Amino acid sequence: MANLDTGAQVAQAETFRQYLPDLSTPRFQRIAECDAYSHAAEALVHKRPPWLYGLLQHWMSLLKEPYRGVTNDGTVRHGLFKLRDEGIPIAAIAAAADAVIAKLGPEQRKKTLLHVDNLEGWRTWSNPEFLISDKGVRLDELSEDLRNAVLKVLEASLSAEGYQKALGAMRVNHFLGELVNAHKVMNEFSYNFVLFGLPSTDAPWGYSFYGHHLCLSVFFYGPQIVVSPWFTGAEPNIIDEGPYKGTRILYEEDRLGLQLMQSLSQEDKDKAQTYKNMKDDKMPKGRWNHDDQRHLLGAYRDNRTVPYEGIVVSSLSEAQQALVLGVLEQYLLYLPARSRALKLQDCRDWLHETYFSWIGGYGDADAFYFRIQSPVVIVEFDHHSGVFLTNTEPKRFHIHTLLRTPHRGDYGMALRELRRPAFEGEVNQDYVWEG
DSSP 31-42: HHH--HHHHHHH
pLDDT at 421 (0 to 100): 61
Whether the CB-CB separation of 326 and 379 falls below 8 Å is answered with no
Pairing of strands 273-275, 355-360: parallel
User: Is residue 186 situated within a structural domain?
Assistant: yes
210 three-state secondary structure? strand
What per-residue confidence (pLDDT) applies to 10? 39
What pLDDT, on a 0 to 100 scale, did the predictor assign at position 51? 87
Q: What does each of the 435 residues of the chain score in pLDDT, given as a tens digit?
A: 333 344 444 345 469 999 999 999 999 999 999 999 999 999 999 998 898 899 999 999 999 999 999 999 999 999 999 999 999 999 999 999 999 999 999 999 999 999 999 999 999 999 999 999 999 999 999 999 999 999 999 999 999 999 999 999 999 999 999 999 999 999 999 999 999 999 999 999 999 999 999 999 999 999 999 999 999 999 999 999 999 999 999 999 999 999 999 999 999 999 999 999 999 999 999 899 988 999 999 999 999 999 999 999 999 999 999 999 999 999 999 999 999 999 999 999 999 999 999 999 999 999 999 999 999 999 999 999 999 999 999 999 999 999 999 999 999 999 999 976 654 444 444 433 333
Residue 341's contacts (CB-CB under 8 Å, 6 or more residues apart) are none
Q: Is residue 108, in this structure, part of any structural domain at all?
A: yes
Sequence-ordered strand ranges (E) for 191-252: 191-196, 204-211, 214-221, 224-234
Our CA angle for 87, 96, 116, nearest 5°, is 80
Per-residue model confidence (pLDDT) at position 6: 40
- Domain membership of residue 248 (yes or no) is yes
**What is the per-residue burial (b if ≥16 Cβ within 10 Å, else e) of 58-73?**
ebeeeeeeeebbbbbe
Alpha carbon of 82 to those of 210, 339, 417, 428: distances in Å?
27, 13, 10, 10
Closest by Cα among 89, 111, 88 to 101: 111
Distances (CA, A) of 84 to 90, 202, 225, 232: 13, 12, 10, 27
Closest CA to 172 of 272, 112, 247: 247
Structural domain containing residue 168: 20-416
317 near 359, Cβ under 8 Å? no
How much is the pLDDT for 14?
60
What do you get for the CA distance between the two ends of the chain, in Å?
Answer: 53
**DSSP per-residue letters across 365-393:** T--EEEEEE-SS-EEEEEE---SSS--SS
Of 413, 393, 392, 396, which Cα lies nearest the Cα of 404?
A: 413
The Cβ of residue 202 has, within 10 Å, a number of other Cβ atoms equal to 13
Per-residue confidence (pLDDT) for residue 2, from 0 to 100: 39
What's the total number of domains in the chain?
1
Q: Tell me, what's the pLDDT at 431? A: 37
Q: Which residues pair with 224 in a beta bridge?
A: 221
From the centroid of its chain, how far is CA 23? 29
Indicate whether 422 belongs to any domain.
no
Q: Give the per-residue pLDDT at 290.
A: 87
Q: Helix, strand or coil for residue 154?
A: helix
Cβ count within 10 A of residue 201? 14
Alpha helix (H) ranges present in 180-280? Answer: 251-263, 266-272
**329 CB contacts (<8 Å, ≥6 apart)?**
340, 344
Q: What is the DSSP string of 290-338?
A: TTTBT-SS-TT-TT-B----SEEGGGS-HHHHHHHHHHHHHHTTTS-HH
Largest Cα–Cα separation, the chain: 69
| SS3 call for 150 | helix
Which ranges of 180-232 would DSSP assign to H, the alpha helix?
A: none
Task: Say which residues have a Cβ less than 8 Å from residue 383's Cβ, sequence separation at least 6.
Answer: 278, 360, 367, 368, 369, 394, 395, 396, 398, 399
Residue 106 has phi, psi (to 5 degrees) of -55, -45
**Is residue 10 in some structural domain?**
no
Q: Which amino acid is at 251?
A: Y
Q: What is the pLDDT of residue 419?
A: 77
